[in-house]
Amino acid sequence: MTANDRRTAILNAILQLLADAGLDGVTHRAVDKAAGLPQGSTTYYFPKKADLLVAAADHLATLLAKDCDELQIGFADRVAKQDIDAAIDYVGEELTIYAATARHLFLARMELTLAAARRPELTGAGERLNAAARKPIAFFLTLIAADRSADQIDTCAGLIDGITLMHVTGQGPKPTLAQVRAVFDAVL
């Protein structure tokens, strides 16, 4: 395993631990165990817990940006091959799939965002993560509703985020295409 592979395994393990056990569950030993690495490996790469959390936030923001790029390509493809309604449905379908398949990333984002509100060493991490997570929704709304204000787009992104949060925390049903479509229609 290369050094880069070990570092990625550590960062992915941190995200999973954040989702499973919260911030208190992230210790160097727990990360080593979750990553399947010898004890002390995490400390070598990230000497302090704050270093772990900052690196995890950056890693998660990168993952979210990659997801956004893939969604944008799919959206453009649907518009080109079908129409804007098919593209909107595509976005809704992808959001509902994401809520189910990337639950741990959503929970890790929430944990890191809360930690950033309380820990000075994480200042800015919450804003970066929320911007990365909301970027696809803002992108789609800007394309399909160019005359809408930033407040309307932020409201829509917040509603979608809230629906997803309720689901991943066990407080609500899995988001449906109809819910996502209703949020988009309300803004449009």
- pLDDT given for residue 71 in this prediction: 80
165 occurs within a structural domain = yes
Q: Report residue 15's pLDDT band, with 50, 70 and 90 as the boundaries.
A: very high
Average of per-residue pLDDT values in the chain: 87
Considering only residues 95 and 14, tell me which one the structure prediction assigns the higher pLDDT: 14
Catalogue the long-range contacts made by 169-178 (C-beta closer than 8 Å, 24 or more residues apart): 169/107, 174/96, 174/99, 174/100, 175/95, 175/96, 175/99, 176/96, 177/89, 177/92, 177/93, 177/96
Residue-wise pLDDT tens digits, 112-135: 999 999 999 999 998 999 888 878
Considering only residues 63 and 69, tell me which one the structure prediction assigns the higher pLDDT: 63
- With both helix axes pointing from N to C terminus, report the angle between 150-168 and 84-101 in degrees, rounded to the nearest 10: 40
36 occurs within a structural domain = no
62: domain range? 51-187
34 occurs within a structural domain = no
Residue 147 pLDDT exceeds 80: no
Of 5-9, 32-36, 56-60, 181-185, the least confident: 181-185
For 78-84, what is the mean pLDDT? 84
For residue 48, with 0-12 CB atoms within 10 Å meaning exposed, 13-18 middle and 19 or more buried, which class applies?
Answer: exposed
Considering only residues 12 and 156, tell me which one the structure prediction assigns the higher pLDDT: 12
Residue-wise pLDDT tens digits, 16-49: 999 999 999 999 999 999 999 999 999 999 999 9
142 occurs within a structural domain = yes
15 occurs within a structural domain = no
81 occurs within a structural domain = yes
18 occurs within a structural domain = no
Q: Report residue 137's pLDDT band, with 50, 70 and 90 as the boundaries.
A: confident
- pLDDT given for residue 146 in this prediction: 66
Question: The domain that contains 147 carries what CATH number?
Answer: 1.10.357
60 occurs within a structural domain = yes
- pLDDT given for residue 188 in this prediction: 67
Count of CA atoms in the C-beta half-sphere (13 A) of 25: 15
- pLDDT given for residue 184 in this prediction: 79
Q: What is the percent of the chain with per-residue pLDDT over 90, rounded to a whole number?
A: 47
How many domains are contained in the chain? 1
Q: Report residue 56's pLDDT band, with 50, 70 and 90 as the boundaries.
A: very high
